[in-house]
Amino acid sequence: MGYVHVAHDCRIGNYNILANYTGLGGHVTLDDHVTLGGQNGVAQFLRIGSYVYQGQVL
């Protein structure tokens, strides 16, 4: 989990995986069992639901 950035007021559920170079903007909510691949960015004020898989950005 190198170089992962979690901004202010984020809520992260259980059993989540954040790969290298992943960034979460402010006020982001990750529900349970979320997987974010490498080099992903999540804009502020978004909610990612349970069991979501977002692959690596190339």
Q: Point out the catalytic residue in the list 5, 8, 27, 33.
A: 8
What is the residue range of 36's domain? Answer: 5-54
Q: Identify the band that residue 57 occupies on the pLDDT scale cut at 50, 70 and 90.
A: confident
Q: What is the pTM of this model?
A: 0.88
pLDDT one-digit tens code per residue, 3-20: 999 999 999 999 999 999
Whether 8 is catalytic: yes
Structural domain tally of the chain? 1
10-46 per-residue burial string, b: 16 or more CB within 10 A, e: under 16: beeeeeeebbebbbbbeebbbbeebbbbbebebeeee
Q: Provide the pLDDT confidence category of residue 2 given band limits of 50, 70 and 90.
A: confident
pLDDT per residue as tens digits for the range 27-45? 999 999 999 999 999 999 9
Give the whole-angstrom CA distance, residue 12 versus residue 58: 25
